[in-house]
Structure 1
Amino acid sequence: MPALAPAVAAVRLAVRRALTGLPGAGPVLVACSGGADSLALAAAAAFVAPRLGRPVGLVTVDHALQAGSDRRAADVAAWAAGAGFAPAEAVRVDVAGRPGGPEAAAREARYQALAEAARRHGAAALLTGHTRDDQAETVLLALARGAGPRGLAGMPPRRDLAGVPLLRPLLDVGREQTRKACAALGLTPWEDPHNADPSYARARVRADALPALVRALGPGVVDNLARTARLAAADAAALDELAAAALPATSSAGSSSAVDGPAGVRAPGGGLVVAALAGLAPAVRTRVLHAWARELGASPAALSHRHVEALDALVTAWHGQGDVHLPGGLRVARRAGRLTAAGPAG
């Protein structure tokens, strides 16, 4: 028997680690564009999942942004069906009219379609093929945009997607390994022209910025950037826990579901106590304010650091300034030592 190619073994091991102990009896669904990363992931899942007693399916999304995209999606679904995936389906989405730039709009449409497919098939988890290289690119983009620790944390290996666990098993696997795995398995990946389109920021990072860093600082840059994401994620998680302790959950009636301790910032009857907020470390306080703004109804996508900084100024740089306007027509005012939601802007 020929020896297993190291790249194939690496991808399979990563998938096995992600799926071991996964609760529920439903299938795992692989999100597969037909590119090397997701194709290697799909092949590994088709090998690993049945050996763990787990059905495996595949969904490919047609964004309808390129000529022939429907044929590409149909080919991926046909390959999946022949390889034993069930379900094996192609889903078309409408990107036009969605907020944000083309990348953000396509991403939102894709994840919405994937979440719907996962719920439709009762999936135990959804797998995506993001690699260590993708993580390094994400960290560079976050640095360029002035992101804080949450941005530098990059993509988590696991997150909730509309009630379905989304897993990224390949965050410790390099993109070159997925290409080698496909070659070893006789799979021909699809090369997405968007990945080389300089009008996209990620494409420019992939083609120019990251290779320049590797040339200047050595090949360890990719691993180091990915490690930065893991370290930042651990720090962000600890800060999030402190913020959650300072801002206890509320019931549907708006009253606290937990008794506020010394660190609690909720005011009886609603709003936040300015003195309690001022006593928090800045990194915790801004997280509390961000969470509270979302709780009030501000859209997470539209809520920016500028909104949070303005809320923080009501606490730390108070000089009688007016209300802070938040996305969704919300206003926050400081009154009698409290931050209160002043209602939609008139």
Structure 2
Amino acid sequence: MRRLGVRRLAYVPAPLEKESLLSWLDQVAAEFGVSRPRAAEMVGLWGRDRSTLHVLGLRLPARVLERVTATTGLTATRLELMTLWRYRRSAFMLKTSGRREVFTASGEWVHAQTSLVCPECLASNGGRWLLPWKLGFSYACVEHGCYLLAGCGCPRGRTARAPWPRFHSTRSVGQCAVSCPDCGRWLGEMEAPRACSDEVLRVQRIIDHLLDAPGDEEELKQIFRDLRWLAAMALSRADDAVELLDGTDPQIIDQLSRHANLPRKERGLLAADNDILLRAAGLVVAARVVFADSLLVGGAWFVEGVGAWDELVFPFGREGTGVGRWVSDLVLLAGKVGGRNDLFKLAGRYRVPPSRRLRPPAEPGSEAI
């Protein structure tokens, strides 16, 4: 078989900041009026080796990266920033499957094949889908002050978490999920619930900042591991965790209260995949512990004139605001779950200074933590 050389395209649309690889690919398809598979061939994502496109969205193998760079003129760095590999220093780890350079994201809190959506972002940016929407740590758009959506609301009840058109389709980016080819509803016209709490948006803003933040890689990874672990614990023990949301958005309080009525085996992070208000509830509870005394975030109030950090500092983490109670309550919650070793390590990382700590009362027949 004759091997074809790589041909440089005269023009490709420039990717937006934080745009995902598949969104950019669909923009290429729309610009040239071709299907997505044809666009993948044109830009070099597909050659003789045809990896599943959502796998390429995790990280581009070296051979594919070289080919796309030669074809499009985009730098390797720019291309990698459109894949989940962008978050390798914070919230994302990749594993290699077998001997080939094939990556998997098993066990990670990401949606490799799917995505949440902010309708107002879609309406304002021409239908581009952003990479952070694929992370389990995203639940709100801080720019528009609304929660992200997990559903398109079409009559067949399919969700927007698989927003990409079918391979043979040339539909515009942003239309309904691949499982609903007959639904043409434009997601940019949908109305997302407004976030009614500054703290809810502040938590998302801090998470967004830390995803790309410079600093100690292991510390950043530990923060996101703890956020995920505590969010899962809060949802599992929803009946006890509801009171830890005092003063936040009534919408997420009500959602967590309803979640508390479910059987214990039906609670947890899996329930938060499609329920964004529930995801927000779990992460806000987790953030009240993780960021309360964090040197990266919560501790900034100790410093005079911290500049840009001023907007990110939590309203708690100061004496008299009850952060000690939250830490103690969550430590007790975790004790009820099973008192695992990682619980005590976590408690040691986030336990507040003794002068501001409220020790939990000792229960009959047990020792105080």
TM-score (norm 1): 0.28
Tell me the TM-score normalised to structure 2 length.
0.27
